[in-house]
Structure 1
Amino acid sequence: MTMTANGLAKLQEEIGELLQETGKKLAYFTTDEHPDGAGPLSGRLVREMADVRAAMIFVSTQFGIRGEDIEAERDSKLALYRACPDIRMTAGGLAKLHEKMGHLLMISACLLSNFDVQGRRVTSGAAARLLPPVAALHAAMDYVIERFDLDGDAMSERCAAKVALFERWHADSTNGRECFHASVGEDRALAG
């Protein structure tokens, strides 16, 4: 299976899943128990943040955004988030995380409208439009990890595995690489 529009559609899907879990954490803020009883909210937040981070890394690579540019802007935003008492008081940064996910959804939706039916890019300037919201969302996730003392190592491991999976799924027609198909079982194993 190939990734539509250089991963923008997958990024939107992953953000939607994280929005669901952060919404549950906001609704049940004083507990780590998920309403369905099938595991803690903290574990689900880690998994979904890892998936969003992996999608952002994949999309950034596809659009030629340099990791060091993301990191520099992310560091600046994270310092701002740490210093701002309003962010600390709004549900441990979850409200800021929602805001930044919404911003990236809006930018990616605009960019998606500039792809043809084969998923080829028909716009320029995408990297410049993506860099600020990608960096801000990285920073917001890092802030939430700190505030809720989430397992950053588990997130990093899952993120690396998901990036590899996304790369296997994607056919890069610009340089002639073929699409490597991951089995459904591999994806299900990562989703668990």
Structure 2
Amino acid sequence: MPPMDNTISPLAPKPDVLDFLLKRRSRPPRSLGTDTPDDATLRRILTAALRVPDHGKLEPWRLIVLRRPAIERLISLTRTRGAERGLGTERIERDINSYTDAHLIVAVVSSPKPSEKVPEPEQQASAAGVCLSLLNATLASGWGAVWLTGWRATDRPYLSQGLELYPHETVAGYLHIGNEIRTPPERPRPDVDALTTWVET
């Protein structure tokens, strides 16, 4: 008789994980400090982030890790490019403020691949999945994080000059990561009953 396999099934209930997901909360940029994960910890977080649905195994995304010197360069570009776009001073300064204290940002790049079976919107959805997975993996590792977008995620000159993206690429999200220096208050959450339709037949 073969020995009994005591390995726990990956599909066994994990109430602690579900409890984490029910309570997860993004951390705004100004609630994050300057401490960041070391490279080994970050690599583990990134590895978890890339375990997302990916129809066709196209890997239609990639990651760019931005440390402080790169972020300072992007701050300068935000000011220059914001002025070129005709954005007001107040708007530009607000955009810059989101980068002021950042010491680690991971840009999740949406990089669609040619495919007859997987349409581009589906590939972009997979990139968005990486953003959420990265956010949750970071929070689960004990670090604060927030997922941001805005005009800097799609502005072609900004993407070309700041991140050297290819013409077909955009940024699905900028994930700011750091230690938590203040806990944000809870906010109202969606009403599942108001937003769910149950179809029985």
TM range (shorter): under 0.3
TM-score (norm 2): 0.26
The structure where strand makes up a greater share of residues is 2
